[in-house]
A and B are shown apart, each in its own frame.
Chain A
Amino acid sequence: MAVNLKRSSGGQGSVKVSRRRMLGWLSGVGLVGSGVLSAISNFVFIKPRATYGQPQRFSIGKPEDYPSGTRMALDARRICVVREGNKLAAVSTTCTHLGCIVGISDTGYACPCHGSRFDQDGNVTGGPAPRPLPWYKVTLAPNGELEVDKDIEIQPGSYLTL
């Protein structure tokens, strides 16, 4: 546009035309711009700022609740608590494929939706799952209760030693 303005600054008539064109361009940019802005603001509107969900960090009771050899699925929390001797861990039961809850099977975990299978440590042994089941950090709180934090994934195989 700037080039146009310079070139046409010589004659009286062409100055008029280029001003008109300039205003036309500005109006066009303004209209399209406000259209884009309102479209974006619609998306900002429907993207919730606060979500209603379960807390990601929660208590799962005392270590005594899980005797050695336990593999107990807490479906409401979507984790499975595993204890071997004095080692304890929390494995996710949300299938890494498409989010169904995996069930405990003889060899590990099996997903009813699309047939993914995992071993006891959550490694993929079959089906379409792209990643192993994550392990979550478990800590022993001062009040003697176990606390799981689903925001912190840890290396599979790293147990909490009681």
Chain B
Amino acid sequence: MSPKTSKPTLWSTLKDMPMNVWRSIFRNPLPSNDLERSSTSFTNFFLHIHPVKVHKHSLKPSYTLGLGLISFFLFVILVVTGILLMFYYVPSTTQAYDRMLDLRGSVAFGMFLRNMHRWSAHGMVAVVFMHMCRVFFTGSYKKPREFNWVLGVILFLLTLFMSFTGYLLPWDQLAFWAITVGTAIAGYAPIVGKDIQFLLMGGTSVGQEALLRFYVLHVAVLPAVLVLFIAFHFWRIRKDGGLSRPEDADRIPAMEMAEEGVKPEPKRTYGLQGLVRGPLHKVGNVPDNTVFSWPHLFRAELFVFVVTLAVILVIALLFNAPLEEPVNVMHPPNPAKAPWYFLGLQEMVSYSAFWGGIGVPGLFVVMLLAVPYLDRGTAGVGRWFAKERLLANTIFLTFVIVNVVFVIIGTFFRGPNWAFVTPW
């Protein structure tokens, strides 16, 4: 601005106002050089949880499969559609089911939003589980990421609780008998089991109190806890040095430099942003394997988001979320089946309530939590199915397959009275 116009007139103030407002929100122009790329990542509230530069290895779709991002984006879709559904839902045993029918009949996009919510929930359970498998098979839970693995296991359990409390809310046959069975399983827990069952049901039988309690858990308590743990999980990724990668992922450029006879420049300046990024990263022209998050990381994230949303939209258009008969407290459906991801549990419970519902799942969870503290070897991190980790990967794969087999048995091989049937 020239000194002449230093005293703004009313006209110039008004004329510059849109631009001033814009610049007060976005401090940087669209980045055209590295400094602006860093600044954009730093000064934008929504971008600043990202690092300024990201390792090329972390951007490989074949390494991460984008599963963590997909889980998060499904959660975002679930929050948005869930809040919208809350405008029409009433957690009352006499009204809940009618409200489901209203969603189908008289609410604009009601059925569509319910479909999106249901299929995203199913998708989130599946993707979170696959994300856990990815982290295991690439050895990514090893030092220094042990605790983030623990957080991830907690997030997986929270996801299951979210979906369990969610499918009770329509108050159809599935809801009622799932709540009956689920709280009864809790009752088998040692010492505090009966108290937990009583607290969950809000009484001695499943009814209005239980529905209200599960509603509060589903829309307030569990989402708050889940958001907290997601934030913790993301923060740990940054503090643990980004995504895991093989040791040689960093060494390659240095070796190339040595071969080419290029000496690293002795004079280095460490900018503030370079220090925040981590002391191991040099600022300057030394070639390394990182690229700027703007645009590489952000473009990849946008791509994953768009694909996730598109898939959910298509599925929600094609398939309607199931709604069973209204609750009949006198007659459980026969067979009374949980959603697919709980059928493995239901199959185990059909052998023994305590061992199938509490003992074995509890043991699984304890083992998952303990994995990074038992398996202390450092070899094979950052590669899928590394040879050095053959034993650990085989054990984990066995558990995964056993779980999948139980789900398949529960889904296809169980008929009326939970008797063994053949689907063909």
Listed in ascending order, the chain A residues whose CB lies under 8 Å from chain B are: 43, 46-48, 51-54, 75-76, 97-101, 103, 110-115, 117, 127-128, 130
Listed in ascending order, the chain B residues whose CB lies under 8 Å from chain A are: 177, 180-181, 183-185, 195, 198-199, 202-205, 207-209, 213, 329-336, 346, 349-354, 356-357, 416-419
CB-based contact B334/A103 at 8 Å: yes
CB-based contact A46/B334 at 8 Å: no
Within 8 Å by CB of B418, from A46, A47, A113, lies A113
Contacts A52-B209, A127-B350 supplied; 11 other A-B pairs, CB < 8 Å: A47-B199, A48-B202, A52-B203, A53-B203, A53-B205, A53-B207, A75-B330, A98-B353, A112-B334, A127-B418, A128-B353
CB-based contact B419/A115 at 8 Å: yes
A76 to B185, CA, bound (A): 23
17 inter-chain pairs at a CB distance below 8 angstroms, sorted by A residue, are: A43-B199, A48-B209, A51-B203, A51-B209, A98-B181, A98-B185, A98-B349, A100-B177, A100-B181, A100-B336, A101-B331, A112-B332, A112-B336, A113-B177, A114-B346, A114-B349, A127-B350
Contact A114-B418, Cβ < 8 Å, known A48-B202, A98-B349, A127-B350 = yes
Within 8 Å by CB of B181, from A46, A47, A99, A115, lies A99
CB distance from A134 to the nearest CB of B (A): 15
Q: Which residues of B contact A111 (CB under 8 A)?
A: 417-418
CB distance from A9 to the nearest CB of B (A): 44
CB-based contact A115/B199 at 8 Å: no
Residue among B207, B335, B418 having the largest count of chain A Cβ atoms under 10 Å: B418
A113 to B410, CA, bound (A): 11
Q: Which residues of B contact A128 (CB under 8 A)?
A: 349-353, 356
CB-based contact A54/B184 at 8 Å: no
Q: Which residues of B contact A53 (CB under 8 A)?
A: 203-205, 207
Within 8 Å by CB of A110, from B208, B331, B352, B417, lies B417
CB-based contact B416/A112 at 8 Å: yes
A48 to B332, CA, bound (A): 27
Q: Which residues of A contact B329 (CB under 8 A)?
A: 75-76
Among residues of A, the one whose C-beta sits closest to the C-beta of B333 is A112
Q: Which residues of A contact B185 (CB under 8 A)?
A: 98
Q: Which residues of A contact B334 (CB under 8 A)?
A: 103, 112
A75 to B332, CA, bound (A): 11
A135 to B419, CA, bound (A): 26
A48 to B195, CA, bound (A): 11
Among residues of A, the one whose C-beta sits closest to the C-beta of B349 is A114
Residue among B181, B213, B416 having the largest count of chain A Cβ atoms under 10 Å: B181
CB-based contact A52/B207 at 8 Å: yes
Contact A100-B203, Cβ < 8 Å, known A113-B177, A128-B356 = no
CB-based contact A101/B330 at 8 Å: yes
CB distance from B209 to the nearest CB of A (A): 7
CB distance from B325 to the nearest CB of A (A): 14
Q: Which residues of A contact B183 (CB under 8 A)?
A: 99
CB distance from B348 to the nearest CB of A (A): 10
Among residues of B, the one whose C-beta sits closest to the C-beta of A50 is B203
CB-based contact B202/A113 at 8 Å: no
CB distance from A39 to the nearest CB of B (A): 14
A128 to B97, CA, bound (A): 32
CB distance from A56 to the nearest CB of B (A): 9
CB distance from A52 to the nearest CB of B (A): 6
Q: Which residues of B contact A52 (CB under 8 A)?
A: 203, 207-209
CB-based contact B199/A46 at 8 Å: yes
A43 to B335, CA, bound (A): 36
CB distance from B155 to the nearest CB of A (A): 23
